[in-house]
Amino acid sequence: MSVNEFDLIIVGAGPAGCTTALNLAGSSLKVAIVDKAELPAEKVCGDALSGTALNVIKRLPGNCFEEFLELEPKTPSWGIRFAAPNGELLDVPFVLDKTPETPPPGYICKRKIFDGFLQQKVKEVTPFSMTGKFQVKQILREKEFFILKGEKEDLRCRMIIGADGVHSTVGKILAGHSLNHKQYSLGVRAYFTGIRDLHPQNFIELHFLEDLLPGYLWIFPMANGLANVGLGILFEKMKAAPDSLSAMLQQIILSHPSLSARFKGAGMTGKIEAHGLPLGPDSKAISGDGFVLAGDAASLVDPFTGEGIGNAMVSGEIAAGMIMEAFAANDVSAGFLRQYDERMRKRLGRELKTSHRIQELCSHPSLFNLVVKKANRNIEMKEMFTKMYTSQDVRDQLKSPGFYLKILFG
Ligand SMILES: Cc1cc2nc3c(=O)[nH]c(=O)nc-3n(C[C@H](O)[C@H](O)[C@H](O)COP(=O)(O)OP(=O)(O)OC[C@H]3O[C@@H](n4cnc5c(N)ncnc54)[C@H](O)[C@@H]3O)c2cc1C
């Protein structure tokens, strides 16, 4: 094999790409990872790492989890504070019966730090090459090889992982994908210091303001008095909005009856930045002849919570297993790789469908207000929201009409 020839090229060194690489650490494959950014790079994100992400990190090789626990700065978070459209708050801890030994169930960590950590682990644990500032613009086919055209050099490989995010070039070129605007959200985020009344246990805050539904404004507390603040809104809804998303964020901070007081004296560090969220579930094929797509490139963002890091990492694990099987069978054909779509549907399909249903229900402010009101008065129901974070069966109850009838008449 020549220097520029690989078994596999992973396009994108975010959570999906790095998790794929780390899960291939023990294989004998010759792998290259390329990313268009100079690594590690800043990313527009809420920076929240959920239990799904933490569970994948626990399974990564090379003492990843132990080293992740030492990673600084990051902030442990113990729950979620929901603000209903009418302003009523509902605090939902991530764990019931917390003891001093209970490990934090979630963290908030700047993406440059978190992605940089994963990239560093790939360098330590695998012999793979990782190249920043390599933007894939064109992919050509030459017999059983792909040729990735770079500015300075071309790379050849038998298989490609498209882990290149929401506007995936691999997805566009090899799968003919385009954005599904119905399942697409826009987000902006900024960092602030000096916001008042953050939760003492760093609960992340989701404010379901009526104009944003089913989207929300978030405030995520971070280390050193910093907070990640942003808005997420469905693309279809944004089309009709009179202002830009940045203007909406600034307007809410200045004039919202309960939020503006908390931002008095707060300062923004840096600027407001925007990025898109490809929401699941999506029926598009996420594999084909010689390639699979992972993470945002496969539209795996949870449509209710907006979380995508955990699912991106889960897809990286499943993609790595699929790749090893494909090379062992010497078969990277579309027919063989279709098993990846099936495995992904089995692993995340139900969860994404439930979240999609919950997202639809969240468009009704009066229903949202009612659920929060009842949950604040009913300890069992409040505990059910906590259990929702660990149990898919409990989550499923939220999409059943019977649940809402019980709330109305219970
Ligand atoms: C405003 C906002 C807030 C969010 N908040 C959260 C949150 O709090 N928690 C959460 O879990 N998720 C959140 N998400 C979603 C999360 O950011 C993504 O789901 C996650 O980054 C997906 O990981 P990935 O590896 O698939 O893609 P990415 O992290 O986007 O990585 C893709 C990589 O591919 C590279 N790349 C792209 N094109 C090319 C190319 N042509 N050639 C070479 N390299 C390329 C990019 O530089 C990038 O490094 C948020 C998203 C947004 C927009």
Stronger pLDDT, 75 or 378, i.e. the higher one: 75
Q: How far is the CA of 14 from the centre of ligand 1 (A)?
A: 6
Q: Which residue has the higher pLDDT, 152 or 372?
A: 372
Report pLDDT for 409.
Answer: 59
Index of the ligand 1 atom closest to the CA of residue 53: 11
Find the distance separating the first CA and the last CA of the chain, reported in whole Å.
Answer: 68
pLDDT tens per residue, range 231-283: 999 999 988 887 899 999 999 999 999 899 999 999 999 999 999 999 999 99
Spacing, Cα 338 to ligand 1 middle (Å): 24
Domain boundaries, the chain: 5-76+101-180+281-354, 184-277, 358-409
pLDDT for position 243? 85
45-57 pLDDT, tens digit per residue, is 999 999 999 999 9
Name the residue with the closest Cα to ligand 1, atom 2: 45
Place 193 in a pLDDT band, splitting at 50, 70 and 90. Answer: very high
Protein residue whose Cα sits closest to atom 1 of ligand 1 = 187
Nearest CA to ligand 1 atom 31: 14
Q: How far is the CA of 322 from the centre of ligand 1 (A)?
A: 22
Could you tell which of 191, 309, 355, 389 is best to mutate to test the pocket of ligand 1, judged by most ligand atoms within 8 Å of the CB? Answer: 309
Kindly give the distance from the C-alpha atom of residue 110 to the centroid of ligand 1, in angstroms, as a whole number. Answer: 13
Task: State the architecture of 184-277 in CATH terms.
Answer: 2-Layer Sandwich (3.30)
pLDDT at 393 over 70: no
* Average pLDDT of the residues in 381-396: 72
pLDDT bracket for residue 153 (50, 70, 90): confident
- CB distance 273 to 246 below 8 Å: no
| 140 has pLDDT over 90 | yes
Ligand 1 nearest atom to the CA of residue 232, by list position? 1
How much is the pLDDT for 394? 64
Q: What is the 3-state secondary structure (H, E, C) of the chain?
A: CCCCEEEEEEECCCHHHHHHHHHCCCCCCCEEEECCCCCCCCCCCCCEECHHHHHHHHHCCCCHHHHHHHCCCCEEECEEEEECCCCCEEEEECCCCCCCCCCCCEEECCHHHHHHHHHHHHHHHCCCEEECCCCCCEEEEECCEEEEECCCCEEEEEEEEECCCCCCHHHHHHHCCCCCHHHEEEEEEEEEECCCCCCCCCCEEEECCHHHCCCEEEEEECHHHEEEEEEEEEHHHHHCCCCCHHHHHHHHHHHCCCHHHHHCCCEEEEEEEEEEEEECCCCCCCEECCEEECHHHHCCECCCCCCCHHHHHHHHHHHHHHHHHHHHCCCCCHHHHHHHHHHHHHHHHHHHHHHHHHHHHCCCHHHHHHHHHHHHHCHHHHHHHHHCCCCHHHHHHCCCHHHHHHHHHC
Q: Whose CA is nearest to atom 38 of ligand 1?
A: 164
Confidence at residue 241, expressed as pLDDT on a 0 to 100 scale: 80
Unique residue bearing structure tokens 């094929």: 285
Q: In this predicted structure, what is the pLDDT of residue 362?
A: 87
Please state the atom number of ligand 1 nearest to the C-alpha of residue 296.
Answer: 26
- Please report which confidence band the pLDDT of residue 398 belongs to, taking 50, 70 and 90 as the band edges: low
Q: Encoding tokens for residue 376?
A: 């604040």
Q: Whose CA is nearest to atom 27 of ligand 1?
A: 165
If one residue of 36, 38, 44, 139 were mutated to test the ligand 1 pocket, choosing by the most ligand atoms within 8 A of its CB, it would be: 36
Distance 384 CA to ligand 1 centre (A): 31
Atom 50 (ligand 1) nearest CA: 45
Poorest-pLDDT segment among 79-83, 124-128, 196-200, 361-365? 361-365
pLDDT given for residue 400 in this prediction: 67
316-356 pLDDT tens trace: 999 999 999 999 999 999 999 999 999 999 999 999 998 89
Nearest atom within ligand 1 for CA of residue 108: 8
Ligand 1 center to 168 CA (angstroms): 10
Between 17-31, 363-377, 393-407, the lowest mean confidence (pLDDT) is in 393-407
**Mean pLDDT score of the chain, rounded to an integer?**
93
Q: How confident is the model at residue 397 (pLDDT cuts 50, 70, 90)?
A: low
pLDDT in tens, 167-192: 999 999 999 999 999 999 999 999 99
Least confident of 88-92, 363-367, 393-397: 393-397
pLDDT of residue 144: 92
User: Does the pLDDT of residue 361 top 90, yes or no?
Assistant: no
Q: What is the pLDDT of residue 410?
A: 59
Of 11, 20, 45, which is best to mutate to test ligand 1, by the most ligand atoms within 8 angstroms of its C-beta?
Answer: 45
Counting from 1 in the atom list of ligand 1, the atom nearest the Cα of 50 is 11
* Residue among 33, 35, 47, 216 whose CB has most ligand 1 atoms within 8 A, to mutate: 35
Pocket of ligand 1, beta carbon within 6 A: 11-17, 34-37, 43-48, 50, 135-136, 163-165, 169, 187, 189, 230, 275, 277, 295-296, 301, 306-310, 312
What architecture does CATH give domain 5-76+101-180+281-354? 3-Layer(bba) Sandwich (3.50)
Residues 6+ away with beta carbon under 8 Å from 99:
none
pLDDT beyond 70 at 159: yes
